[in-house]
A and B are shown apart, each in its own frame.
Chain A
Amino acid sequence: MGNSIRKQVADLFQFALILCAAVVILVPIYWIASGAFKQQVDVFQLKLLFTPTLANFEEIFRSPYNLHEKFFNSVLVAGTTVIVAIPLATMAAYSFSRFRLRFERTMFLMILSTQFVPAVVIVLPYFLLFRDLGLLDTRVALVLVNLSLILPFAIWMIKGFIDGIPLDTEEAALVDGSSRLQVIWNIVLPMALPGILTAAIFCFILAWNEFLFAVIITNSKAVTMPVGLSLFHAEEGVLWHLISAAGILIMLPMFGLAMIIQKHFVQGMTLGAVR
Chain B
Amino acid sequence: MASVTLKGITKRWNEFIAVKDLSLLIEDQEFLVLLGPSGCGKTTTMRMIAGLEEPTHGEVFIGGRKVNEDLPKDRDVAMVFQNYGLYPHLSVYENIRYPLKVRKVPKSSHLEKVRQAAEKVQLDHLLKRKPRELSGGQRQRVALARAIVRTPTVFLMDEPLSNLDAKLRVTMRAELKHLQHELKITTVYVTHDQIEAMTLADRVAVMDHGIISQMGPPEEIYNDPANLFVAGFIGSPPMNLMKGKLYENNFQHPNFSISINHKANLEEATLGIRPEDLILCAAQKGVLKGTVYAHELTGESTLTTINVGPDRLTIRGPKEFKINIDEAVGVQFEASKCFLFSNQTGERI
Q: Which residue of B lies closest to A166 (CB)?
A: B83
Given the interface pairs A177-B99, A186-B102, the reply to whether A172 lies near B73 with Cβ below 8 Å is no
In the bound complex, do residue A169 and residue B52 qualify as a contact, i.e. CB atoms below 8 Å apart? no
- Select which of B83, B98, B146 is within 8 A of A275 by beta carbon: B83
CB 8 Å contact bits of B59-90 with A (1 = contact, 0 = none)? 00000000000011101011101111111110
A104 to chain B, nearest CB (A): 16
Interface footprint category on B: 20 to 34
* Cβ of B131 under 8 Å from chain A: yes
A164 to chain B, nearest CB (A): 11
Counted as pairs of residues, one from A and one from B, with CB atoms less than 8 Å apart, the total is 77
Cβ–Cβ < 8 Å partners of A187 in chain B: 87
CB 8 Å contact bits of B105-136 with A (1 = contact, 0 = none)? 00000000000000000000000000110000
Cβ–Cβ < 8 Å partners of B99 in chain A: 176-177
- Select which of A173, A186, A191 is within 8 A of B88 by beta carbon: A191
Please measure, in the bound complex, the distance between the C-alpha atom of A171 and the C-alpha atom of B51, giving whole angstroms. 10
* Cβ of A114 under 8 Å from chain B: no
Chain A interface main SS type: helix
Please measure, in the bound complex, the distance between the C-alpha atom of A274 and the C-alpha atom of B98, giving whole angstroms. 18
Given the interface pairs A186-B102, A274-B88, A275-B86, the reply to whether A171 lies near B146 with Cβ below 8 Å is no
In the bound complex, do residue A168 and residue B73 qualify as a contact, i.e. CB atoms below 8 Å apart? no
Please measure, in the bound complex, the distance between the C-alpha atom of A166 and the C-alpha atom of B86, giving whole angstroms. 10
- Select which of B51, B75, B85 is within 8 A of A172 by beta carbon: B85
Which chain A residues have a beta carbon within 8 Å of chain B's beta carbons? 166, 168-169, 171-179, 182, 186-187, 190-191, 271, 274-275
Cβ–Cβ < 8 Å partners of B132 in chain A: 274
Cβ–Cβ < 8 Å partners of A172 in chain B: 79, 81, 85-87, 143, 146
A-B contact pairs, 9 of them (CB 8 A): A168-B83, A171-B72, A173-B102, A174-B52, A174-B71, A176-B99, A177-B103, A179-B71, A275-B131
Please measure, in the bound complex, the distance between the C-alpha atom of A168 and the C-alpha atom of B132, giving whole angstroms. 16
* Cβ of B139 under 8 Å from chain A: yes
Given the interface pairs A274-B132, A275-B139, the reply to whether A175 lies near B72 with Cβ below 8 Å is yes
- Most B C-beta atoms less than 10 A away, residue of A174, A177, A186: A177
Cβ–Cβ < 8 Å partners of B131 in chain A: 274-275
Cβ–Cβ < 8 Å partners of A175 in chain B: 50-52, 72-73, 75, 77-79, 156
Q: Which residue of B lies closest to A169 (CB)?
A: B85
B79 to chain A, nearest CB (A): 4
- For the complex with contacts A171-B79, A175-B78, 19 further pairs of A-B residues with Cβ separation under 8 Å are A166-B83, A168-B84, A169-B88, A172-B85, A173-B102, A174-B51, A174-B52, A174-B73, A175-B50, A175-B73, A175-B77, A175-B79, A177-B99, A179-B73, A182-B102, A186-B87, A191-B87, A274-B88, A275-B86
